[in-house]
A and B are shown apart, each in its own frame.
Chain A
Amino acid sequence: MADSTAGGILTIETIDLRKQYDGGVEAVRGLNLRVPAGSICGFLGRNGAGKTTTIKMLLGMTRPTAGSGRVFGLAIDDLVSSVAIRRRTGFVSDEKDLYDSMDAGDLIRFTARLFPKWRADLEQQYLRRFEIPLSARVRTLSRGGRTKLALLLALCRGADLLILDEPTSGLDPAATEEVLQALVAHVAAAEGTVFFSSHQIAEVDQIADRVAIIDKGRTVVEGALDDLRERYRRVQFVFDADAPAVPDLLAQSTGIQRVRRSGRVLSVLTNGSADAIIDRARALRPVSVDVATVTLKEIFLETVTAEDSGA
């Protein structure tokens, strides 16, 4: 995997990170992740792919079974380092779980006291923008209201890194857009790093500049979004009879992610050289060859389903 992060400062780095729970379930199986400082990295994967477990390991909520991980250069499995990591990190969980028994105002004051770099100016800004009622009990807030409060609590920590686990889940399109714009504006102003998991590929496409796709606990795609768009191509061969079974000469080509055969059409997804594949396939005498760019959604679908079929 080519990587434009080489030599840059990494905010998050994991090497062969693994997590096996007591029941024997292996949630993460050798995850390699590199998130450069200042980037917005979308973390994609199907349900149960290991996204939340990875996030929990990064924040010291769950201990890795093997491998290593560093955030700001600090080991994630060290108790002291973990506190230092959390001091510089804002977090929004999937469930947006907050203290239901507190008022929104009390919860904000409670959180502010734990973060020395708390941004009171941002607090006022987001209170106005998100229209959070300070006197309302957290348990009485709508899902959108909880999400906005959780986001305020994360954004105002003065954090260098935001880790957000499906921050827009359950929100209506208007609220989703508001949250995404707040994230982009925050990163633009504070030059922090954002690492967020999502099932909404369009969201990732909209605000991320990097992406990591995880499937069954392993990284299957990782890199700058522009690089991925540049590298990934779909090469489609049409034959005058049924397309041949996956030919050896294609299988030998580097970068092939997925080959599909349907009637007279042979479709190849590659992140290597399309020209090299076309050269090799010329011997099969296709009647036409077409090279097309692919979307992030196609890359996601092809890579995670390719894992299923063992391609």
Chain B
Amino acid sequence: MLWQKSWLDTRWRFLIGFALMTCGAVFIVTLYVRVRGLLPQLSALDPGSSELGRIIREAAELQKTYRGFIWSQWFRQTPTQTGTLFAILLGSGGLLSQGAAGQLFTLSLPVSRARLVGARAATGLAEWAAMALAPSLVIPLLSPAIGESYPFSTALVHGLCIFVGGAVFFSLAVLLSTTFTDLWRPLLIALAVAIVGGVIELAVVGPTRFGTFCVMTGENYFRTGVVPWGGLVVNAAIAVALLYGARVALEHRDF
């Protein structure tokens, strides 16, 4: 019942995000046909021995295999950028920002606030799971159409990494939405945290085992083939803690 209300609140954000992410995955797969045609030219590339040259060489090396191309062009980029934005969008809003559109009606229903947060979180996480997994699974489904193959299991692990990492930002937005009474502040603060966090994690500190963005990109899994259980568990725990915080905040809120 309550999920129905949450679905009505978030369905357009979800549908737009889902369509964007899925179309993006389809585009990346079809793009490989063109990239494959350019591969012979890569051997003639001489980027030099500087740091920039090293980065260009590494990027070029990744394009040589279909798996490397998919990781560098899809899993490392779109889910961590567009995906994070939509995870935050799905977590923003809710009871506090409803204002006159049914806030007191909701509060007069015979359900606890913990259940309200639970329904909101469950619906949002289900939407985010679909958004994280479906585009990832499109890749192995479409790959045979361009004469390539991509393991379902690999796509599934990457999808899981995207889901868990994004769940942290989703949960942060849910928590902020139990603090601020409008839609925009939770959204903008969560985005600011994501951007600053991303810069610190990826540009300053460098790849880490437990970092949210590193988990989202699945870099360790791509390079070693080992599922990053530690990072997944740590980030899932952070998401759960943030949702618990949202529950406590809502339970103590006066309306």
Contacts and interface: CB of A to CB of B under 8 A. Distances in A.
Interface string A5-48: 00000000000000001100000000000000000000000000
Contacts of A122: none
Interface in A147-163: 150, 153
Contact of B104 (A79, A84, A93, A101): A93
Contacts of A62: 254-255
For the complex of A and B, 6 pairs with smallest distance between CB atoms: A87-B110, A91-B108, A93-B104, A99-B102, A86-B110, A62-B254
A97 B103 CA distance: 7
Q: Which DSSP category, helix, strand, loop or mixed, fits chain B's interface?
A: loop
Contacts of A153: 105
B112 A110 contact: no
B1 A114 contact: yes
A82 B254 CA distance: 14
Given A83-B111, A86-B108, A61 B101 contact: no
Contacts of B113: 79
Interface of A: 21-22, 56, 59-63, 79-80, 82-84, 86-87, 89, 91, 93, 95, 97-102, 110-111, 113-115, 150, 153
B61 interface: no
B108 A79 contact: no
B100 interface: yes
B141 to A, nearest CB: 34
Interface of B: 1, 4-5, 8-9, 100-105, 107-113, 251-252, 254-255
Contacts of B100: 95, 97
Given A61-B255, A62-B255, A99-B5, A83 B101 contact: no
B110 A83 contact: yes
29 contacts: A56-B254, A59-B107, A59-B108, A60-B107, A61-B254, A61-B255, A62-B255, A63-B252, A79-B112, A83-B110, A83-B111, A83-B112, A84-B110, A93-B105, A95-B100, A97-B100, A97-B102, A98-B105, A99-B8, A99-B101, A99-B102, A100-B101, A101-B9, A102-B8, A110-B4, A113-B1, A114-B111, A150-B105, A153-B105
Contacts of B101: 97-101
Contacts of B112: 79-80, 82-83
B8 A101 contact: yes
A139 B5 CA distance: 15
Nearest to B4: A110
Given A60-B107, A99-B101, A110-B1, 17 more contacts: A56-B104, A56-B254, A59-B107, A61-B107, A63-B254, A83-B111, A83-B112, A84-B110, A91-B104, A93-B108, A97-B104, A99-B102, A100-B101, A101-B8, A101-B9, A101-B101, A153-B105
Contacts of B8: 99, 101-102
A82 B110 CA distance: 8
